[in-house]
Amino acid sequence: MTTPRTGPGGTWLITPPSDGRLEAALRAEPDVALLDLEDSVPPYGKDTARTAAVAHLGAAPVHGATVLGLRVNAPGTVHGLKDLVAVADAGLHDVVLLVPKVESARELELVAQVLKETATGVRVCALIETPRALLRLDDIFASPVLGGVVFGAADYAAASGCRRTSSALWWARSSIAAAAAAHGIPSIDSPYFDLGNPEGLRRDAQEARDLGFTGKGAVHPDQLPLIRAAFCPTDEEVAQAQAVVSAAGRSGGQLVRSGGQMVGPPLVVAARAVLDRAGSRTEPSHGGIQ
């Protein structure tokens, strides 16, 4: 059984399923720790890795707020089907299942069918990483079994022939974030792969936040602090949001000026979202613009 339309945002740490890697990932306290059975494992090692990964997830202790998960192989492949059957047979529950190369809602329905008998509370998330998937976002995101989406920049760039730069990926990233918001599901931006460029990671994470993504992937624990900082509102942003919400409360539902700008319904909605992310929601004491 899958858990639809829900899923965590924030930081997603993807790691190989080798010994000790899950424990190291948990120590970094990401929002989601994913063992990877796809790109991290060569074909000859997938059966062994699958057995180990499922065992790790089944035996892992509860570790704070971190949600455990598994990136399986594409469901249209033999190894992908083996991965799904292994998850179902193990009866894993309350885990994220990241499905790569999704290009249609039908693929997600297949995943749900395999899992429905034994796996409970599984959050099925789709990796969007091909031009064909970009043209079918509404169909894919409308799937009732989908709990979130992740952008795969490296595969998308390879499939589309574009460079892996901010400008080249802007349309794909903004399309995914907007479509996910329209369907009310979390959207996770692709990891930043240059481990030796923290400034590049900072810019990339901030761009993801600006585009509307609710989180970002990481390939190393050292990347998590910069990603968290990008997605957490600054003190100045929180103060501005509190001022907007307070002004809206005093206005009795009318347009009002706050901090040199006119405050109307869209700005109030945005301000409340900032306070939600900061964990410091301040509601109007009376009335207010809805």
Q: Is the pLDDT of residue 287 over 50?
A: no
Find the CATH number of the domain harbouring 42.
Answer: 3.20.20.60
Contact 224, 28 (CB under 8 A): yes
Asked if residue 56 and residue 142 are part of one domain, the reply reads yes
Distance CA 234, CA 252 (A): 28
pLDDT tens readout for residues 179-203: 999 999 999 999 999 999 999 999 9
Q: Please state the rounded mean pLDDT for residues 259-274.
A: 70
For the residues 7-31, what does the mean pLDDT come to?
88
286 is a domain residue: no
Residue 130 has pLDDT above 80, yes or no: yes
Strand 187-189 with 32-36, pairing: unpaired
Residues 89-108: b if buried by 16+ CB within 10 A, e if exposed: ebebeebbbbbbbbbebebb
Asked whether residue 287 is domain-assigned, the answer is no
The answer to whether 158 touches 132, Cβ cutoff 8 Å, is no
Residue 6 pLDDT exceeds 60: no
Could you tell me if 191 and 246 lie in one domain? Answer: no
- Looking at the fold, whether 259 and 158 belong to one and the same domain comes out as no
| Whether residue 129 is found in the same domain as residue 205 | yes
Q: Provide the residue range defining the domain that includes 252.
A: 235-278
Biggest CA–CA distance in the chain, Å, is: 66
Q: Is residue 5 part of a domain?
A: no
Say whether both 201 and 251 belong to one domain: no
Asked if 262 and 167 sit in the same domain, the reply is: no
Q: Is residue 113 part of a domain?
A: yes
Q: 129 labelled as ligand-binding?
A: yes
Whether 1 maps to a domain, the answer reads no
**Residue 130 domain flag:** yes
Q: Is 71 annotated as a binding residue?
A: yes
What is the model's pLDDT at position 282?
39
> Quick one: pLDDT at residue 286?
31
| Same domain (yes/no): 125, 190 | yes
Which is more confidently placed, 180 or 18? Answer: 180
Residue 219 CB neighbours (<10 A): 16
Same-domain status, 39 and 147: yes
Please give the share of the chain, as a percent, with pLDDT higher than 90.
63
The band of 284, judged by pLDDT with boundaries at 50, 70 and 90, is very low
For residue range 132-180, what is the model confidence (pLDDT) as tens digits? 999 999 999 999 999 999 999 999 999 999 999 999 999 999 999 999 9
Q: Is residue 284 part of a domain?
A: no
Q: Torsion angle, CA of 15/19/24/26, rounded to 10 degrees?
A: 80
| Residues 246 and 219 grouped into a single domain | no
Lowest-pLDDT choice from 34-38, 62-66, 167-171, 218-222: 62-66
Clarify whether residues 34 and 114 are in a common domain: yes
Q: How far apart are CA 215 and CA 8, in angstroms?
A: 9
Report, as an integer, the average pLDDT of 73-100.
93
Return the CA Rg of the chain: 20
Considering the domain architecture, whether residues 165 and 206 belong to the same structural domain is answered as yes
94 is in an annotated binding site: no
> Does the pLDDT value for residue 280 go beyond 70?
no
- Is the four-CA dihedral 287, 288, 289, 290 of positive or negative sign? negative
> 221 with 269, same domain?
no
- Average per-residue pLDDT for the chain: 86
Q: How many domains does the chain have?
A: 2
The answer to whether residue 47 sits within a structural domain is yes
